[in-house]
Amino acid sequence: MSDATHTTFSRVISDRHFLTGSLIPATILALVAACFCLVSVLSVGGIARLLSDQTAGTLTTELGERFPQPQLKQVVEAIPALSRPGFALTFLFGAIVVATILRALLHAGTERQINRRVATNVNRLREHIHRQALRSNPGDLTGAQRRTAANLFQMTAQKLEDSAARWGLLKITTTCDLLVLAAVLLLIQWRVGLECLIPMVACWYIARVESERNSASANLLSEQVDRGLQRLTEDLDKARIVAGYGMESVEHDYFAQNLKQYQSRCDGLQRQKRRGRWTSLLIRIAMVMLPAFIIARHIVFGNLIGLPAASMLVAALGIMMMSLNRSIDAPRLRGTATVAADEINQYLLRVPPVSQVVGARFLEPMSRLLQFNQVSVETETNPDLLCSLDLKIEFGKRVSLIALNPREAEALVTLIPRFADPSAGQVLFDGQDIRRATLESLRAEAVIVGGDEPVFHTTVLDNVTAGRTDISRQDAIEACKTVHAENFIRRLSKGYETHLGESATTLDVGQRFRLSLARAVARKPALLIIQEPETVLDNETKTMLDDTYQRICTGRTVIFLPSRLSTVKKCDRIVMLHQGRVVADGRHEDLVRTSDLYRHWEYIRFNVFRGGANGAT
pLDDT of residue 502: 63
pLDDT of residue 372: 96
pLDDT of residue 616: 35
Strands 573-578 and 581-586: antiparallel
pLDDT at 613 over 50: no
Mean pLDDT within 373-400: 92
CB burial of residue 259 (10 Å; 0-12, 13-18, 19+)? middle
**C-beta of residue 557 within 8 angstroms of C-beta of residue 366:** yes
Of the candidates 36, 19, 38, 15, the residue with the CA atom closest to the CA atom of residue 27 = 19
pLDDT at 60 over 50: no
Per DSSP, the residues of 402-436 read EESSHHHHHHHHHTTTTSS--SEEEEEETTEEGGG
How many whole angstroms separate alpha carbon 309 and alpha carbon 529? 84
pLDDT of residue 573: 95
How many whole angstroms separate alpha carbon 79 and alpha carbon 600? 98
Mean pLDDT within 539-552: 93
Mean pLDDT within 574-585: 95
How many whole angstroms separate alpha carbon 591 and alpha carbon 585? 8
pLDDT at 178 over 80: yes
pLDDT of residue 485: 93
Per-residue pLDDT tens over the stretch 338-366 = 999 999 999 988 888 888 888 899 999 89
Among 274-283, 545-554, 566-575, the least confident range: 274-283
Q: What is the average pLDDT score of the chain?
A: 86
The DSSP bridge partners found for residue 528 are: 447, 558
How many whole angstroms separate alpha carbon 466 and alpha carbon 500? 13
Q: Is the dihedral of CA 380, 383, 384, 386 positive or negative?
A: positive
Mean pLDDT within 117-145: 87
Mean pLDDT within 216-223: 80
Predicted confidence band at 577 (pLDDT cuts at 50, 70, 90)?
Answer: very high
pLDDT at 85 over 70: no
pLDDT, greater one: 558 or 300: 558
Q: Of all residues in the chain, what percent carry a pLDDT higher than 90?
A: 45
pLDDT of residue 614: 39
pLDDT of residue 331: 86
pLDDT at 569 over 70: yes
The DSSP bridge partners found for residue 87 are: none
Of the candidates 505, 494, 500, the residue with the CA atom closest to the CA atom of residue 459 = 500
Q: Is the dihedral of CA 600, 563, 398, 581 positive or negative?
A: negative
Mean pLDDT within 405-415: 93
Q: CB-side exposure of 575: number of CA atoms within 13 Å?
A: 24
Give Cβ neighbours of residue 312 (< 8 Å, ≥ 6 apart).
41, 42, 44, 45, 48, 184, 188
3-state class (DSSP) for residue 186: helix
Give Cβ neighbours of residue 477 (< 8 Å, ≥ 6 apart).
486, 496
Give Cβ neighbours of residue 449 (< 8 Å, ≥ 6 apart).
513, 516, 517, 519, 520, 528, 529, 530, 531
Predicted confidence band at 258 (pLDDT cuts at 50, 70, 90)?
Answer: confident
DSSP assignment letter at 499: B
How many whole angstroms separate alpha carbon 435 and alpha carbon 356? 7
pLDDT of residue 126: 92
**C-beta of residue 68 within 8 angstroms of C-beta of residue 74:** no
pLDDT of residue 56: 42
Predicted confidence band at 374 (pLDDT cuts at 50, 70, 90)?
Answer: very high
**C-beta of residue 148 within 8 angstroms of C-beta of residue 347:** yes
pLDDT at 78 over 60: no
**C-beta of residue 601 within 8 angstroms of C-beta of residue 584:** no
How many whole angstroms separate alpha carbon 132 and alpha carbon 136? 6
Give Cβ neighbours of residue 580 (< 8 Å, ≥ 6 apart).
376, 377, 384, 385, 386, 387, 388, 389, 408
Mean pLDDT within 408-424: 93
Q: Give first-to-last CA distance, the chain, whole Å.
A: 62
pLDDT of residue 479: 94
Per DSSP, the residues of 36-90 read HHHHHHHHHHHHHHHHHH--HHHHHHHHHHH---HHHHHHHHT-GGGGSHHHHHH
Q: What are the CA-CA distances from residue 271 to residues 115, 208, 226, 277, 548 (Å)?
A: 40, 20, 17, 10, 75
How many whole angstroms separate alpha carbon 124 and alpha carbon 476? 34
pLDDT of residue 222: 81
pLDDT at 250 over 70: yes
How many whole angstroms separate alpha carbon 127 and alpha carbon 123? 6
Of the candidates 195, 181, 189, the residue with the CA atom closest to the CA atom of residue 69 = 189
CB burial of residue 251 (10 Å; 0-12, 13-18, 19+)? middle
pLDDT of residue 58: 47
pLDDT of residue 53: 62
pLDDT at 431 over 60: yes
How many whole angstroms separate alpha carbon 591 and alpha carbon 577? 13
Phi, psi of 374 (to 5 degrees): 55, 50
Predicted confidence band at 265 (pLDDT cuts at 50, 70, 90)?
Answer: confident
How many whole angstroms separate alpha carbon 16 and alpha carbon 8? 14
pLDDT at 558 over 90: yes
Exposure string (b/e) for 333-345, b if CB count within 10 Å is 16 or more? bbebbbbbbbbbb
Per DSSP, the residues of 157-170 read HHHHHHHHHHHHHH
pLDDT of residue 430: 93
pLDDT at 54 over 60: no
Instruction: Quote the crossing angle between the two packed helices 3-12 and 329-348, to the nearest 10°.
Output: 110
